[in-house]
């Protein structure tokens, strides 16, 4: 068993193994051989292509989260903490 | 480093000399992200308090960051990473999450002993409903973040929301890059599962 949980590094990846490697694939953390096996599986497996596309959509949605503005009472609390810190 | 870090450095120097206007700008730039991270790390009920405490700790560190004797004049300071690192102190021991992986329901794959289809999808993912716009999807991932385990949620926020590199995020959490990628993978699977349960059925809350 490898660190990535893949049983045999020379065998065709299973769908379950590919699913476990998607983040390593996105983060470009697979070896050249692992990446080749990953892409070989993808080319033959429409279900895993669907899963990969959905994971991309998920990551993209996370990147679109907006930041809220600071509530006035929070700003007051932080300014108060800063003044306390200066006095100390 | 980034323009953000250069602007931060100037603001930190001003704040170190007592400039409240500069502090207001620093708060506006970073508190929303700090509060969001704290809510994921410590839970929504106490997230705001954890974020406030992080700022207090940050003030305590100001002399080390901003004084001329301590090497100030630093051209770049990543205040957000400093604050998020302080918030990360509220995380529990990482070993529990590292020991129990987040998985897609095993029943969705044929068992390892299956003579022909071992490890293949038994219930393959179906395309998500096309009637969901970006805004609805963003609302769903916001909800999903709230139900992730704390370390996995922290990893997802740092990498996918804050767009830190794996190396930067691992430093903030004080874990190895390998551990970080594992937690990130678990968090993404958790969010995918949350979305899949809702988008596959065409059901969108709110």
pLDDT tens column, A7-62: 555 578 999 999 999 999 999 999 999 999 999 999 999 999 999 999 999 999 99
A14 vs B59, B119, B160: nearest CB: B119
Contact B110, B119 (CB under 8 A): yes
B184 touches chain A (CB under 8 A): yes
ipTM of the predicted structure?
0.88
CA dist., res. B112 & res. B139, Å (int): 37
Location of structure tokens 């909800």: B143
Predicted structure pTM score: 0.90
Q: Give the distance from residue A9's alpha carbon to the nearest chain B alpha carbon, in angstroms.
A: 15
**76-95 of B, contacting A, C-beta below 8 A:** none
Give whole-number Cα distances, A50 to A77, B124, B196, in Å: 47, 9, 12
Cβ contacts (< 8 Å) between B109 and chain A: which residues?
14-16
CA dist., res. A80 & res. A76, Å (int): 6
Count of Cβ atoms closer than 10 Å to residue B73 Cβ: 10
Q: Which of A3, A15, A86 to mutate: most B Cβ within 10 Å?
A: A15
Which is higher by pLDDT, A6 or B40? B40
What average pLDDT does the segment B56-61 reach?
94
- pLDDT at residue B72 is higher than 60: no
Cβ contacts (< 8 Å) between A77 and chain B: which residues?
52
**φ, ψ of residue B56 in degrees (nearest 5):** -60, -45
């Amino acid at each position: 068993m490898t660190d990535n949980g893949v049983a045999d590094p020379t065998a065709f990846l299973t769908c379950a193994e590919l699913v476990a490697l998607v983040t390593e694939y996105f983060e470009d953390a697979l070896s050249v051989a692992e990446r080749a096996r990953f892409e070989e599986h993808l080319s033959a497996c429409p279900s895993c292509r669907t899963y990969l596309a959905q994971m991309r959509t998920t990551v993209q949605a996370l990147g679109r989260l907006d930041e809220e503005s600071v509530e006035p009472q929070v700003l007051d609390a932080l300014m108060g903490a800063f003044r306390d810190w200066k006095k100390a | 480093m980034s323009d953000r870090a250069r602007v931060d450095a100037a603001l930190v120097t001003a704040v170190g000399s007592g400039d409240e206007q500069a502090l207001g700008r620093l708060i506006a730039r970073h508190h929303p992200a700090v509060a969001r991270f704290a809510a994921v790390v410590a839970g929504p009920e106490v997230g705001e308090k954890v974020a406030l405490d992080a700022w207090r700790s940050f003030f305590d560190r100001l002399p080390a960051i901003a004084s001329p004797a301590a090497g100030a004049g630093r051209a770049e300071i990543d205040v957000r990473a400093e604050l998020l690192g302080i918030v990360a102190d509220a995380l529990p021991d990482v070993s529990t999450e590292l020991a129990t992986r987040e998985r897609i329901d095993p029943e969705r794959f044929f068992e390892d002993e299956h003579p022909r289809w071992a490890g293949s999808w038994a219930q393959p993912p179906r395309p998500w409903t096309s009637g969901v716009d970006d805004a609805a999807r963003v609302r769903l991932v916001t909800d999903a973040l709230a139900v992730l385990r704390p370390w996995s949620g922290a990893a997802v926020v740092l990498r996918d929301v804050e767009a830190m590199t794996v190396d930067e995020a691992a430093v903030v959490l004080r874990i190895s890059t390998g551990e970080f990628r594992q937690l990130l993978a678990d968090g993404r699977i958790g969010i995918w599962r949350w979305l899949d349960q809702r988008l596959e059925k065409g059901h969108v809350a709110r």
